[in-house]
């Protein structure tokens, strides 16, 4: 099954719908979906390295627009925002973020946007906390651009040498990635 999913992803990255799929995934991940767009961004860069910066820009822009949707969920649809936070394992997260916003302001978005904390957690709680929208958009633009352009630069530089290893040891790489995600999740839970 893992090989089929990998093959499907690689076919998608080479299709004419790749940029649209990347934008949709980046948008969804910022507001309600649990899978980060990096899983599509990296193979797209490996498939079409001449489009590296275009793909990073698409990913960053769609992520910020999705972040505004997440903000709107928290701001205007508070019960839905609370439900999404509880469903993703972060019930009541807006309480600590409100305090952090009061103390550090936009720095919270800049810091947490780079950490392995689900971005949707930040977007929804920013809306729940009624953080200033234009500051949220500005900080999100900076931090999401830094993240995706950074990922793009790393994949562009090191990806071609790593790809054959990933393809030969797909199960091992997927297992290691799963362990890293679980460790990051536990660390985030302990910090909150």
User: What pLDDT score does 64 carry?
Assistant: 96
Q: What value does the CA radius of gyration of the chain take, rounded to a whole number of Å? A: 17
| pLDDT value of position 138 | 94
pTM of the model: 0.77
The per-residue pLDDT for range 148-190, each reduced to its tens digit, is 998 888 888 887 676 555 555 545 555 555 555 566 656 655 6
Q: Nearest CA to 145 among 24, 71, 64?
A: 64
DSSP state of 66: H
- The string of DSSP letters for 41-65 reads HHHHHHH-GGGHHHHHHHHHHHHHH
Residue 128 in contact with residue 74, Cβ under 8 Å? Answer: yes
**Over 50: is that where the pLDDT of 91 sits?**
yes
pLDDT surpassing 90 at residue 51: yes
What pLDDT, on a 0 to 100 scale, did the predictor assign at position 101? 78
Among 31-45, 85-99, 115-129, 136-150, the least confident range:
85-99
Measured over the CA atoms of residue 64, residue 96, residue 103 and residue 118, the dihedral's sign is negative
Mean pLDDT, rounded, of the chain = 79
Number of folded domains that form the chain: 1
Q: Quick one: pLDDT band at residue 128, thresholds 50, 70, 90?
A: confident
Give residue for tokens 């972040």: 67
- DSSP-assigned states of every residue in 87-127: HTT-TTHHHHHHHHHHHHTTHHHHHHTTTTS-HHHHHHHHH
First to last CA, the chain: 35
Buried b (16+ CB within 10 A) or exposed e, 145-170: bebbbebbeebbeebeeebeebeeee
Q: Which of 37-41, 72-76, 108-112, 174-178 has the highest mean pLDDT?
A: 72-76
Most confident of 73-77, 80-84, 104-108: 73-77
Q: Is the pLDDT of residue 80 over 80?
A: yes
Closest Cα partner for 97 from 75, 124, 57, 76?
Answer: 124
- pLDDT at position 170 is 46
Domain that holds residue 47: 2-191
Contact by Cβ (8 Å): 152, 56? yes
The mean pLDDT of 55-70, rounded to a whole number, is 96
Other CB atoms within a 10 A radius of the CB of residue 50 amount to 7
Distance CA 125, CA 185 (A): 18
């Amino acid at each position: 099954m893992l090989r089929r999913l990998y093959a499907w992803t690689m076919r998608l990255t080479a299709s004419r719908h790749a940029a649209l799929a990347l934008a949709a995934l980046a948008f969804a991940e910022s507001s309600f979906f649990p899978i980060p767009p990096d899983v599509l961004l990296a193979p797209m860069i490996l498939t079409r390295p001449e489009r590296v910066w275009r793909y990073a820009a698409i990913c960053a822009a769609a992520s910020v627009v999705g972040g505004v949707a997440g903000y709107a969920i928290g701001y205007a649809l508070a019960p839905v925002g609370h439900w999404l936070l509880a469903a993703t394992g972060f019930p009541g997260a807006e309480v600590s973020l409100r305090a952090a916003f009061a103390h550090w302001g936009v720095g919270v978005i800049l810091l947490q946007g780079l950490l392995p904390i689900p971005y949707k957690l930040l977007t929804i709680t920013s809306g729940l906390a009624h953080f200033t929208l234009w500051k949220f958009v500005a900080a999100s633009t900076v931090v999401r651009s830094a993240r995706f352009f950074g990922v793009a630069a790393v994949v562009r530089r090191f990806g071609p040498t790593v790809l054959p290893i990933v393809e030969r040891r797909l199960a091992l790489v997927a297992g290691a990635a799963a362990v890293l995600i679980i460790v990051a999740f536990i660390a985030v839970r302990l910090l909150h």
